[in-house]
Amino acid sequence: MEGVDHLADERNKAEFNVDDMKIIWAGSRHAFDVSNRISRFVATDPVFEKSNRALMTRKELFKNTLKKSVYAWKIIKELRLSDEEGIKLRIFMDQPGFLDLHWGMFVPAIKGQGTEEQQQKWLSLANKMQIIGCYAQTELGHGSNVQGLETTATFDPKTDQFIMHSPTQTSSKWWPGGLGKVSTHAVVYARLITNGKDHGVHGFIVQLRSLDDHSPLPGITIGDIGMKFGNGAYNSMDNGFLMFNQFRIPRDQMLMRLSKVTREGKYIASDVPRQLVYGTMVSVRQTIVSKASDALARAVCIATRYSAVRRQFGSENGGIETQVIDYKTQQNRLFPLLASAYAFRFVGEWLKWLYTDVTQRLEASDFVTLPEAHACTAGLKSMTTSATSDGIEECRKLCGGHGYLWCSGLPELFAVYVPACTYEGDNVVLQLQVARFLMKTVSQLGSGKAPAGTTAYMGRAQHLLQCRSGVQKAEDWLNPSMVLEAFESRALRMAITCAKNLSKFENQEQGFSELLADLVEAAIAHCQLIVVSKFIAKIEGEIEGKGVKKQLKNLCYIYALHLLHKHLGDFLSTNSVTPEQASLASHQLRSLYSQVRPNAVALVDAFDYTDHYLGSVLGRYDGNVYPKLFEEALKDPLNDSVVPDGYHEYIRPLIKQNFPSAKL
């Protein structure tokens, strides 16, 4: 029934103040106000309609993305929205497009790697969108291995120019978002060559298309790389290819904040670590962690509301059937995902702090925390995006058959989200960076250099290698120090086992290659420890609002104990817990599920998502699922006529067994 809240009973059960939780989820009252206002603005503007996306052709979808993006920019200008409001507008618009790469990578690359003069020149154009930029790093032959890029930028002292060239087919740039059809400019990563010497990969600002008629400049071949996974979904983005044929750019278009080429062609490397050329990726990986919580929360919101609406079995004497959310199996699959969404939110907040801190230090030429910032952004990007992709798919299954319908919102969410496991660094490759960092930290134990930050626990190696968990009863698993000790001991013991096995090899690199799978697992254990410890830090801090802290505590322990359950092999094989303690953890988990159950719908309401943003018939705020499923079905073009096109051509001859031209 229209106007009736079918989930009202669920909402009445909540034992906490949802409005207070909304503030915690958003991060502050101000952040909540901005999100709330902008999401409602987008939801009510017909230009941002998105329900028809799956049925659009690629060309229609692309043009629709241009329309929405330019309209969003017009609104940002006309209403003088702040940067924060502009970002929210793009998020709630919910359609991947060139704006993401222009603002998310092109502008940050110039800010991070350009000199002051370069910033003044290029940012004044980019900030007004008089030029549109993308981030062209990946090539057909190399994405993960950035040092393996083949595009060259050779300095020509005669003309004071760089000659950009793609020497092989595999050196073609391939994948950059916004490159295929829209961008006028790119930050291109290429091998810098001066006086015949290769100085490795550096960034260059390159104009690609005419600012008058948008045609590619002579010496440039450019286009879209074609359809990607799913209908609609990421196909709104023009991921592109690009080849240079001896294309010339002025010398001052090399991004020269970190190293320079003089008029004479002399290469001057600064004394900063060369890895700062990867700075834009570090900054984006940090934002991807918060985005993971957002994507997972969307899926969980849909699955939770629908699980409360959906009923199957359990009817006695013709009475009402059981809500599927009451099945313990449903809770065991759904509530850890709900807890993960909150966990990723809080670790994302912390990572933002860490990133801000390292940025300030770098400005003061303090590089000490750079390796840790790299390891944390890489590891948490990897861990949270893998868990979120799996989680969205699990939410689809939690919604049964209807979850497979496009209008559930889950297929498209999955199709848009899943490349996050690959872009901005393949998730396995990134965990191997964490593993290298851990092996280095372990090798320095006992050297007098105390591990700091997220590896500080390794400084207590003596204790953590010997200790036995003190858990004796199920409630002990609600003791933060017991939970932390189990995770620390598991992570440390896995890292030390890897280090011991590595030391058996004469050649360390060969050993590393042999042990890759174990190293990835050790890295994941370390990342999970970070997430658990940041969630615990959150619930131990000040939290306002009636009943809010209690709910967050429940979610925190669900997050930790479900990981313990899922990775029980690790915990048992490292003797971090005994089988009896593991079974107490399962007992405690069941009790926590019962406590979360009456609050589940309110906990997803706290995300404050509009129906427009969710884009899901199953996840509607009012729970009015069945009539709306019918409405959606009737909108399908196949239902435009009762007798389908093709009846006379195929169906009728078939059932009449009358095939005029067929030789049977």
Ligand X SMILES: CC/C=C\C/C=C\C/C=C\C/C=C\CCC(=O)SCCNC(=O)CCNC(=O)[C@H](O)C(C)(C)COP(=O)(O)OP(=O)(O)OC[C@H]1O[C@@H](n2cnc3c(N)ncnc32)[C@H](O)[C@@H]1OP(=O)(O)O
- Cβ-based neighbours of 610, under 8 Å, separated by 6 or more: 39, 40, 42, 43, 92
Q: What are residue 370's phi and psi, to 5 degrees?
A: -60, -45
Complete DSSP assignment for 312-349: -S--STT-PPPBGGGSHHHHHHHHHHHHHHHHHHHHHH
Told to judge if 514 belongs to the known catalytic residues of this protein, a careful annotator would answer no
Q: Name the binder of 278 from ligand X, ligand FAD, none, CB < 5-8 A by kind.
A: ligand X
Give the total residue count for the chain.
664
Does 175 help bind ligand FAD (rule: CB under 6 A)?
Answer: yes
Is 170 a binding residue for ligand FAD by CB under 6 A? The answer is no
Site for ligand FAD in 592-631 (CB under 6 A): none
Looking at 81, 370, 515, 529, which residue binds ligand X (CB under 6 A)? 370
Q: Is residue 234 a contact point for ligand X (CB under 6 A)?
A: no
Residue 221: strand pairing partners: 243
Q: Round to whole Å and give the CA distance between 515 and 620.
A: 47
The residues, any chain, with a CB within 8 Å of residue 121's CB and separated by 6 or more, are none
16 binds, among ligand X, ligand FAD, none (CB under 5 to 8 A by kind): none
Q: Which is nearer to ligand X, 22 or 102 (CB)?
A: 102
**498-527 positions binding ligand FAD, by CB under 6 A:** 516
Bridge pairing between strands 152-156 and 185-194: parallel
138 is in an annotated binding site: yes
97 forms part of the interface with ligand X (CB under 6 A): no
Q: Residue 541: is it exposed, middle or buried by C-beta count within 10 angstroms (0-12/13-18/19+)?
A: exposed
**What is the rounded distance in angstroms from the CA atom of residue 172 to the CA atom of residue 165?**
9
The single residue among 425, 451, 615, 623 that binds ligand X, judged by CB under 6 A, is 425
Give yes or no for residue 183 binding ligand X (CB under 6 A).
no
Asked whether 568 and 530 are in contact (CB, 8 A), the reply is no
- Residue from 419, 615, 619, 623 in contact with ligand FAD (CB under 6 A): 419
Each residue of 402-414: b (16+ CB within 10 Å) or e? bbebbbbbbbbbb
Among 39, 118, 137, 455, binds ligand FAD (CB under 6 A): 137
Among 394, 424, 485, 488, the active-site one is 424
Please, which residue, 138 or 386, has the CB nearer to ligand FAD? 138
Contacts to ligand X from residues 371-390, by CB under 6 A: 371, 374
Strand-pair category, 185-194 with 133-136: parallel
**Under the criterion CB under 6 A, does residue 145 sit at the interface with ligand X?**
yes
Binding mask 360-399 for ligand FAD (x = CB under 6 A): ----------------------------------------
The total of other beta-carbon atoms located within 10 Å of residue 286's CB is: 22
Nearest Cα residue to 193 out of 157, 152, 161, 159: 152
The only residue of 90, 102, 305, 493 in contact with ligand X, by rule CB under 6 A: 90
578 is in an annotated binding site: no
By beta-carbon distance, which residue lies closest to ligand FAD?
143
Which of 147, 317, 365, 661 touches ligand X (CB under 6 A)? 147
Query: Is 48 near ligand X (CB under 6 A)?
Result: no
Q: Is 146 in the site for ligand X (CB under 6 A)?
A: yes
Residues 545 and 262: their CA atoms lie apart, in Å, by: 60
The C-alpha atoms of residue 162 and residue 244 are separated, in whole angstroms, by 12
Binding site for FAD: which residues? 138, 177
| Catalytic residue set | 424
Chain residues in the site for ligand X (CB under 6 A): 87, 90-91, 100, 104-105, 135, 137-138, 143-147, 177, 275, 278, 281-282, 284, 287, 370-371, 374, 423-425, 429, 433, 436, 440
